[in-house]
Each structure stands twice: as C-alpha cells, then as structure tokens.
C-alpha cells in the first residue's frame, strides 16, 4: 500500500495469506512464478528464525467451475476435486513445501455468509434483486491499495448490475435458483458467496484478526485485494487489517499475461516435461519477484545451462555438510541480498560464485553452499 519496502518486525510469529488458484483447469507457469516467490519468502523467514503460519486458499466455488461442469455434464465438485489434486501434485513437483494449510473455500460457506450478514446488519452492505453488494462509500478510502482516486473509481464498474449505489460496489452474495448446482442455504439466503468474501472468510477463520502479509500476483490488486481489504476493515474495525501487501509481477506470453481465460498458457506439467523443477525455479529467481517478463523457452534453456554450474558444485560438496554452519563474506552478502526484499538475482549470482569456488576445491564453502541452496528451495 505504501509502495515502499516495509520492515518485518522482530516478532517470532508471522502470519501470511497467499491467494491460491481457481481450480477449473491445470495451473500454468504464471502461477508457478508467484508461488515459487512466496515459497522463497517463507523459506527465508524460517531461515531467519521466524515461526510462520502460511495459509493458501483454493477457490473451488466459482462460476468458471460451474460453467465447465455444465458443459461437460459433470458434478462441479468432481471438476474442483480433479484440478485441486492436480494443483497439489504440481506444487509438490516444484518443491513448494512451506504452505502450512490449504483451505478450500467450499468449506467456508457458512463463515462467508456470516460475514455478509455482519455487513448487512451494520449498514455497510445492501440487497439488490436478491443479491448482496458491499457499499464502497462506507469503506475507509476504497481505492487506497490500488492508488486510485475517487474520481477515477467513478469510471470503473465491478459486478455490473442496474441499481447499484456505486459502480465499484462488489458482490458479496449471489442469489442462485434452487434448480442450479452450487446452492447453499445460509443466514443471508440461498445461493453462494462472491469471490472476495470467500477469501476473507478463510482469513478471519484462520487468523482471527489482523495479520502480517497478504500476497498474490499483481493482477489481483484491483478489484480483488482492494475489495478484500475494504470488507476486512469494515467487519473488524481494524485499520490497517493487513500490515504488508506483496505482489509478484506477471508472466507474459507475447504482449499479454499468461492466462487460462486468454488460452495462451504453458501449464506447469508441460514445462516439467522439458525442464526440472530446479531449472524452472532458477529461471524465475533470476528476475526479481516484482518484475513482469515474457515467457521464452530459449531463455529457459539458457537457465538450464547456467544451473548446471550449481549441479556440478552439488556433486562435489558432500550432502552431510548441509548441517554445517554457513559463514564468511559470501554468506553475509547472501543474507543482505535476501533480507533486502528478496533480491534473488543477486543472491543467485552469489550462489554461482560459491559454486565456482567449490569446483576450485574450497571445502570451507560447502556448508554455505548448501544453506544457500536450501534457502532458495532447490532440491538437487
């Protein structure tokens, strides 16, 4: 929100929430870029002595899933289960191993409805044609996360519906006819929650109140995270509700973001048929997590060649030196680079330099090498 680096304070416990995927299909390399970045953050916090509670929500109640289920004549939960399980396999294959808990939003319908009721009861939400919308005029500076003025917001439209009080008022609860699939009976009526309130329901259930960090790809800043923040603060009365907002740059294909809706994706599974998880991780960490860049298989092949230097060093450094204590100027450099907003391009340069030294027979760097490898999440 401040568009600046924010210090992580010295408390031992760190609560972080990262938006997971909508499970209507296999996830792609753009997702991998984001989740690798947050995995590295979590690994580094653990290395620095933090206790982390890392929650990732899984959106398995969404119109895209219901639409696909209808097209295929399949129960929607069968679609959601299939691609949730595939996503978990992809994360395991990529060695994304720091998430404490995966929460499927379908398990938080009652909690979502309860939050919607609180907003209705407090006058911060209203009913319209059976649906419930958040009244953004009641929010604390709606637009502050995405840095949009009230004038520019008047030109925006979220969840278009005639009769809304403000164009950017967003859907909290959708009324759905009984004959459709995906109808829940709740304290606010029959239907299903909107996208934004599902994530808040998970966060309130898991953290109870304000927490340290909320993250995802930069495309989620508006309207998703902006709306989450507005309703969280409206429900809790706590401002700020989230201390740090952290967003990754996008993976582009051509001039557009890699996106299932655009059909220009390279899935994680397709990439893993040609490259190892370590090579993919190395490729993404060569750029800072906030940078957007274009997918290019030739660049990935170049990263694969570069990563061979790390593999060669790993073959020379006994694995039992993993338990040793990292020290020396190389480790100090690495720590400074990682502490400063995860400057992984520089950290990788340090790792490559240490890898070269190991190949020149410097066993005193073995422990430092393996600590770097572990911090960045390479399996080797």
- Phi-psi category of residue 189: left, alpha or beta, with phi > 0 → left and psi -120 to 50 → alpha: left
CA distances from 5 to 80, 216, 229, 339 (A): 37, 16, 19, 11
- Asked if 53 and 14 count as a contact pair (C-beta separation under 8 A), the reply is yes
- The CA distance from 140 to 145, in Å, is 11
Q: How many residues does the chain have?
A: 380
Same domain, 175 and 323: no
Residue 4 lies in a domain: no
CA dihedral 301, 256, 217, 93 (to 10 degrees): -30
Residue 257 lies in a domain: no
Span between the terminal Cα atoms of the chain, in Å: 37
Domain finish residue from 192, 225, 252: 252
Same domain, 147 and 27: yes
Same domain, 91 and 194: yes
Residue 287 lies in a domain: no
Instruction: Examine residue 240 and say whether the peptide bond preceding it is cis (omega within 30 degrees of 0).
Output: yes
Domain finish residue from 252, 279, 305: 252
Number of helices (H), then strands (E), belonging to the chain: the values are 13, 13
Backbone angles phi, psi at 334, to 5 degrees: -60, -45
What's the burial of 243, exposed, middle or buried (CB within 10 Å: 0-12/13-18/19+)?
middle
Q: How do 189-193 and 184-186 pair as beta strands?
A: antiparallel
Nearest to residue 37, comparing CAs of 14, 25, 24, 19? 19
Nearest to residue 265, comparing CAs of 245, 250, 244? 250
Rounded average pLDDT per 10-residue block, the chain, 380 residues: 89 93 96 98 96 98 94 95 98 98 98 98 97 96 96 94 97 90 93 97 97 97 98 97 97 80 86 98 98 94 98 92 80 98 98 96 93 97
Residue 284 lies in a domain: no
Q: What is the CATH number of the domain that holds 92?
A: 3.40.50.620
Same domain, 228 and 329: no
- Asked if 190 and 179 count as a contact pair (C-beta separation under 8 A), the reply is no
Q: Helix 226-236 to helix 195-207 angle, to the nearest 10 degrees?
A: 50
Residue 197 lies in a domain: yes
The pLDDT of residue 322:
63
Torsional sign, CA 207, 212, 217, 220: positive
* Own/partner pairs, 338-346, CB within 8 angstroms, 24+ separation: 338/44, 338/375, 339/48, 340/5, 341/5, 341/288, 342/37, 342/40, 342/41, 342/44, 342/288, 342/289, 343/288, 344/40, 344/285, 344/286, 344/287, 344/288, 344/289, 344/376, 345/285, 345/286, 345/287, 345/288
The pLDDT of residue 177:
87
Q: What is the CATH number of the domain that holds 327?
A: 1.20.120.640
Q: In what order do the strands lie in the sheet with 131-134?
A: 125-128, 131-134, 171-175, 189-193, 184-186
Residue 272 lies in a domain: no
- The CA distance from 112 to 184, in Å, is 11
Residue 317 lies in a domain: yes
* Domain membership of residue 43 as a residue range: 13-252
Whole-model pTM: value is 0.96
Same domain, 301 and 248: no
Same domain, 73 and 171: yes
The pLDDT of residue 321:
67
As for how many domains the chain has, the answer is 2
The pLDDT of residue 323:
65
Local structure of 41: helix, strand or coil: helix
Domain finish residue from 252, 277, 306: 252
The structure tokens listed for 267 are 């899935």
pLDDT tens for residues 74-120?
999 999 999 999 999 999 999 999 999 999 999 999 999 999 999 99
Alpha-carbon radius of gyration of the chain = 22
The structure tokens listed for 79 are 């679609």
Residue 208 lies in a domain: yes
Distance of CA 175 to the CA centre of its chain: 29
Q: How do 51-59 and 101-104 pair as beta strands?
A: parallel
Same domain, 212 and 97: yes
Same domain, 39 and 110: yes
Q: How do 101-104 and 125-128 pair as beta strands?
A: unpaired
* 87 half-sphere exposure, CB direction, 13 A CA radius: 25
């Amino acid at each position: 929100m401040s568009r600046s680096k924010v210090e992580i304070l010295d408390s031992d416990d760190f609560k972080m929430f990262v938006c997971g995927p909508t499970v209507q299909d296999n996830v792609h390399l753009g997702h991998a870029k984001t989740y690798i970045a947050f995995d590295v953050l979590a690994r580094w916090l653990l290395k620095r002595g933090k206790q982390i509670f890392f929650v990732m929500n899984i959106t398995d109640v969404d119109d895209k899933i219901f639409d696909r289920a209808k097209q295929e004549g399949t129960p929607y939960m069968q679609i959601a289960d299939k691609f949730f399980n595939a996503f978990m396999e992809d994360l395991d294959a990529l060695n994304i191993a720091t998430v404490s808990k995966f929460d499927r939003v379908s398990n938080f319908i009652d909690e979502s409805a309860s939050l919607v009721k609180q907003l209705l009861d407090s006058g911060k939400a209203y009913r319209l044609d059976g649906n419930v919308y958040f009244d953004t005029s009641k929010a604390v500076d709606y637009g502050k996360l995405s840095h949009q003025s009230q004038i520019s917001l008047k030109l925006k439209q979220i969840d278009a519906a005639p009769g809304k009080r403000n164009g950017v008022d967003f859907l909290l609860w959708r009324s759905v006819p009984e004959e459709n699939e995906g109808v829940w009976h709740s304290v606010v009526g029959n239907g299903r929650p909107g996208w934004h309130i599902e994530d808040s329901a998970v966060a309130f259930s898991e953290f109870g109140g304000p927490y340290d960090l909320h993250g995802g790809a930069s495309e989620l800043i508006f309207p998703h995270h902006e709306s989450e923040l507005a309703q969280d603060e409206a429900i809790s009365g706590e401002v700020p509700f989230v201390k740090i907002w952290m967003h990754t740059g996008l993976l582009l294909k051509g001039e557009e973001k890699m996106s299932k809706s655009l059909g220009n994706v390279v899935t994680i599974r397709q990439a893993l048929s040609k490259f190892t998880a370590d090579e993919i991780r190395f490729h993404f960490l060569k750029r800072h997590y906030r940078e957007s860049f274009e997918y290019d298989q030739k660049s990935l092949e170049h990263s694969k060649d570069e990563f061979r230097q790390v593999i060669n060093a790993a073959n020379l450094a006994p694995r039992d030196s993993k338990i040793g204590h990292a020290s020396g100027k190389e480790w100090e450099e690495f720590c400074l680079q990682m502490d400063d907003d995860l400057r992984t391009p520089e950290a990788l340069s340090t790792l490559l330099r240490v890898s070269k030294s190991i190949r020149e027979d410097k066993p005193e760097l073995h422990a430092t090498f393996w600590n770097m490898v572990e911090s960045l999440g390479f399996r080797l």
